[in-house]
Amino acid sequence: MVKKFFISIIFFASFSLQLFAQNISAKASTDKSDYLVGDYINYTIQVDYDKGLKVFPPFIKDSLKSVSIIQKENPVEKEQNGKVTATYKYILSGYDSTGVTIPPIAVLYQTSDDTTIHYALTNSVNFVVRTVKINPQGDIRDVKDPIRIPLDWRWILFWVLLALLIAGVIYYFYRRYQKKKLSMQPVRKVVKLPIHTIALNALHELEEQKLWQKGMIKEYHSTITDIIRRYFEERFNMPALELPTSEAVELLRQRKGSELILDTTYKFLSNADLVKFAKFTPLSSVNEEMMKQAYEIVNKTIPVLVEENSNGSSNENIEVSNVQ
């Protein structure tokens, strides 16, 4: 009788364990069974259990002997028909050529009405880590070829547009700075000297050079007549440099304001022609008189401000000056 009782207890306990064991199962696997040194080894533990169980993530670090953990991914859980499937993924790597065995990993859990810690074991996993075959006669090269990342034209276009935008902003502020800088600079007014001032300054400079006193008589007469002819071109709007003396005087006669200098101009230009074309050597007094005549021609034809009459017409007054 006692023997039957113990047999019943053992049978009941065995049946309870089998029934309880059906509530959870754990399975381990790798993506391959053969790896090269340095390869990524994808190690996965999949746990299937009833919804009412509380399952703890497996701890595998102390069970690894010849490989190292490179990365641990977040677990993924899926529930269907009261069953939960939890997947735990790890990336491992081995650096020695050897056969590797990952022993069964304990997955701890609790039932909903019990605080006792139970566990379910995974299967063991075996794989091999090999070194690369080396050809002593071959070239030195990497264990694996470099990974080529394909070009993403959208990213390239984005960076090109961004660079153009930055360049445009920089150019805008640079132009703005330049305009502001120019606006702060004082405006320099170019003062144009009156034509009579230019002529008088040229005559004074020629007088200071003392050309005829140095024997450069032809150069002296050529320079002084050029000064006066250029003055006529600006003052009376006539091609004085291109005309002979007779035509220049005749054209000058037709210009308003030239009445006071016609005789002086004829004598002045005629004396210069004698020196330049007839190889005439004038006296010192003639050279001095040429300078006086040049000053007189300019001073007697200095234009003054235009005064407007009541009828709307304007008169140009000529200022006579004895400045020499």
323: pLDDT strictly greater than 60: no
Examine the fold and report which residue of 130, 161, 187 is the final residue of a domain before the chain moves on. Answer: 130
| Across 23-32, 239-248, 285-294, 314-323, least confident range | 314-323
pLDDT of residue 7: 38
Indicate whether 202 and 277 sit together in one domain: yes
What predicted TM-score, i.e. pTM, was given to this entire model? 0.39
Exposed e or buried b per residue across 115-128, where buried means at least 16 C-beta atoms within 10 angstroms of its C-beta: eeebebebeebebe
Residues with Cβ < 8 Å from 175, sequence gap 6 or more?
A: none
* Higher pLDDT among residues 4 and 201, named by residue: 201
Examine the fold and report which residue of 115, 130, 145 is the final residue of a domain before the chain moves on. Answer: 130
Indicate whether 211 and 119 sit together in one domain: no
322: pLDDT strictly greater than 60: no
**Count of positions (residues) in the chain:** 324
- Residue 219 within a domain: yes
Residues with Cβ < 8 Å from 42, sequence gap 6 or more?
A: 30, 31, 89, 90, 91, 92
- Residue 139 within a domain: no
Residues 226 and 206: beta-carbon distance below 8 Å: no
pLDDT of residue 52: 83
- Residue 35 within a domain: yes
Indicate whether 223 and 113 sit together in one domain: no
- Residue 150 within a domain: no
Cβ-defined contacts of 306-312 (< 8 Å, 24+): none
Indicate whether 229 and 314 sit together in one domain: yes
DSSP class of residue 125 equals: E
Exposed e or buried b per residue across 86-107, where buried means at least 16 C-beta atoms within 10 angstroms of its C-beta: bebebebbbeeeeebebeebbb
pLDDT of residue 283: 82
Q: What is the mean pLDDT of the chain?
A: 81
Report how many domains make up the chain.
2
Residues 91 and 158: their CA atoms lie apart, in Å, by 34
Examine the fold and report which residue of 85, 100, 130 is the final residue of a domain before the chain moves on. Answer: 130
6: pLDDT strictly greater than 50: no
Per the structure, the complete domain to which residue 69 belongs is given by 23-130
**In this structure, what CATH number is given to the domain that contains residue 54?**
2.60.40.10
Indicate whether 199 and 313 sit together in one domain: yes
Indicate whether 213 and 120 sit together in one domain: no
User: φ and ψ at 66, to 5 degrees?
Assistant: -115, 5
310: pLDDT strictly greater than 70: no
Span 213-223, pLDDT tens digits: 888 888 888 89
Confidence of residue 62 (pLDDT cuts 50, 70, 90): confident
- Residue 83 within a domain: yes
Q: What angle do CA 253, 242, 317 make, to 5 degrees?
A: 35
